[in-house]
Amino acid sequence: MTTRKSVSKRPTLSAQDEYRADVAAYVAAGGDELVQRVITAVHGLAHKLDQWYARQLADLDLSAGEWAVLSRLARSNEDEALTPSQLAEATSVAPSSMTHRLDRMAERDLIARATDPDNRTRVLITLTDEGWATFKAAVRESDMVESDVLGPLSSRQRENLASLLEVLIAGLDEAPQV
């Protein structure tokens, strides 16, 4: 009985093993080790979180793109209304795609369209009560997952991590066009 090439073995690497293999490959190809550890970890985390969000948003019948619109509107509904173009820019999508996305969201009464009285070329988008409720529900659900992810860190470590990341965020504005 020879073992006949164990091709069917596929143990599904753990997130940690995936991470290590990725870093190794990037370093082997000429990347700096410390840089690759940080960047690969950031991507791995973001990606994993995105997968979880997608599952939770599906419960609320929202796509990631729709969530992005809700989220962007939620953080500036009172003071300033946003136009479709601004939403497209903010959520990294083409203006034409935003038109359709807003169509669907208006159909479901999550947002409302109104032409700007001061400039009738413009359309102003606002969150409806329904939209607000959906936003808050999503945040509360997500916060639970996110708290779990940060579970292994103490309060002090979280503070430390947040500070380091915020330094990088601040630095993003330095050299905008790379």
Partner DNA sequence: ATCGAATACTTCGACTTCGAAATAATAGCA
Partner DNA sequence: TGCTATTATTTCGAAGTCGAAGTATTCGAT
Q: What does the DSSP 8-state code read for residue 176? A: -
Contact between 10 and its own copies (CB under 8 A)? yes
67: closest CA among 14, 139, 169, 165?
A: 139
Element (H, E) at 124: strand 123-127
91 φ, ψ (degrees, to nearest 5): -105, 15
Q: Which of 36, 56, 63, 77 is the binder for DNA (CB under 7 A)?
A: 63
Contact between 72 and DNA (CB under 7 A)? no
| Distance of closest approach, residue 5 Cβ to DNA, in angstroms | 10
Site pattern 62..101 for its own copies (x: CB under 8 A): ---------x--xxx---------x-----x---------
Q: Which of 46, 58, 64, 114 is the binder for its own copies (CB under 8 A)?
A: 46
Asked if residues 101 and 66 have their Cβ atoms less than 8 Å apart, the reply is yes
Residue 30 site contact among its own copies, DNA, none (CB < 5 to 8 Å, cut-off depends on kind): its own copies
**Sign of the torsion angle spanned by Cα atoms 103, 104, 108, 112:** negative
Helices (H) and strands (E) in the chain, counts: 7, 2
Name residue 152's beta-bridge partners: none
- Considering the complex, state which of residue 96 and residue 160 has its C-beta at the smaller distance from DNA: 96
- Considering the complex, state which of residue 103 and residue 148 has its C-beta at the smaller distance from its own copies: 148
Contact between 90 and DNA (CB under 7 A)? no
